[in-house]
Amino acid sequence: MSTADKTTTKSNGSSEAPWLLVTRREVVSRITDKSFLLGTVFMVVLIAGFIGFTAWQEERTDKVTLGATPDSVAMATVIEESAPDVDDSVEVSVVELDDETAAEAALLDDEVDAWLHPVEGGWELTSESSEQDSLTDVVSTVVRQQVLTDNAAGVGSTVQELEAGSDVSTAFLRGDAERAAVAEVVGFVFVFLFYFAALVFGMQLASSVIEEKQSRIVEIIAAAIPLRHLLAGKVLGNTALAVIQLLVYLVVGLVGISFTSYKSYLPALSGPTAWFIGFFLAGFVALACLWAVAGSLASRTEDLQATSTPLTMLMLAMFFGGLSLDGRGQVIASFIPPVSAVVMPKRILAGGVEWWEPLVALGLLAAFAAVTVWVGEKLYRRALLQTGGRVTLRQAWSAAE
């Protein structure tokens, strides 16, 4: 049933509110749309595949062969024995070679991944054409440790005595280093999901407004229900769809993490995730209303790029601000709507946030959303029925009710 049919039903005596009819139409039409379903399934598969690949990479053992000529067999044997202590995902096997010629031949024939041999001032790890990163890291660590041990013994000391007082640790005034590393990754996911949802659903909302305006069907709808009900239905419908899709992605992600070595972080992620949903809801409502205004200002699909440019720039500022801000700038931005929708959840993830800070930030964001909806509703109503060309914000605001 079309929106016009539903609103006609309302005018004929239906007890259901017009905005609820529009909301239901938006939800049902999108949920039954194949492109929406396929897009959601694709993202779920992508998330699950990425987490699965990460888990597989963590469990996978990198088996490498290290060639050693007579002058490096002793050091290579130490590397073979110590490799699991340096990186438990690297397994080193030593292949003894007669001389330099045999070592070069073994490299060219792929019999060994690298050849270890002494050079003036240290050791050299030679490979055929590309560096073996995991092997290089292990060899560098073990050789350094072994050389330090030998040198310390030569002067009647130990490595521990020589390195005493040289350890450097990291700390944060707010939160801790371990949570900061997790927050960096999960924070990126939060920022990306918000940007993706606001852009995709916003463009679709604006396009639907333009289609109804260009086909003049909005004039029929306006005769049956108040335009504010039409706006409310569209915003609420798309918000519901965005939240449903977001919850699907978050559930898949959290369940996937439970099968990886990061599962110990799940309890710490549950609270910030709940906060993110709240900030997402308030921020999305504000942006969805602005997208509807962008659609109402346009008279043709070609006009949407011009009418939505300020909004697109705002979203880009939110995206890059959410990723790049840190320190005092991040703290300040976490209270400024609508950037706070993505910055405050990142701060909560990192820890060190006072209990009242998210409440204040969410309250400010909700107030911003309320003002945006109030202003947007006026612009939407005054611009929607104006045809014949693109409407400016000044023209929409000064137009008669």
DSSP string, 65-91: EEEE-TTTHHHHHHHHHHHHHH-TTEE
Structure tokens at 76: 């290579």
Q: Could you tell me the domains of the chain?
A: 3-54+174-398 (no CATH), 63-159 (3.40.190.10)
Beta bridge partners of 228: none
Question: How many contiguous H segments (helices) and E segments (strands) does the chain have?
Answer: 16, 4
Residue with tokens 């006609």: 8
User: What are the start-end ranges of the H helices in 155-226?
Assistant: 159-162, 177-214, 217-224
Per-residue tens of pLDDT for the chain, all 401 residues: 444 444 444 444 456 788 999 999 999 988 888 888 998 999 999 988 888 887 777 677 778 889 899 988 889 898 888 888 888 788 888 988 888 888 888 888 888 889 888 888 888 888 887 777 788 888 888 888 888 888 888 887 777 777 777 777 655 555 556 566 777 888 999 999 999 999 999 999 999 999 888 888 888 888 888 889 999 999 999 999 999 999 999 999 999 888 877 788 888 888 999 999 999 999 999 999 999 999 999 888 888 888 999 999 999 999 999 999 888 999 999 999 999 999 999 999 888 889 999 999 999 999 999 999 999 999 998 888 887 778 888 888 877 66
- pLDDT at position 293: 93
User: How far apart (Å, rounded) are the C-alpha atoms in residues 304 and 348?
Assistant: 36
Helix axes 177-214, 304-324, angle to 10 degrees: 170
Task: Kindly state the DSSP code that residue 124 receives in the 8-state scheme.
Answer: E
- pLDDT at position 177: 60
Cα–Cα nearest to 191, from 385, 372, 345, 67: 345
Residue with tokens 């305006």: 213
Sign of torsion over alpha carbons 168, 172, 178, 183? negative
User: How far apart (Å, rounded) are the C-alpha atoms in residues 349 and 175?
Assistant: 9
User: How far apart (Å, rounded) are the C-alpha atoms in residues 18 and 24?
Assistant: 10
Task: Kindly state the DSSP code that residue 157 receives in the 8-state scheme.
Answer: -
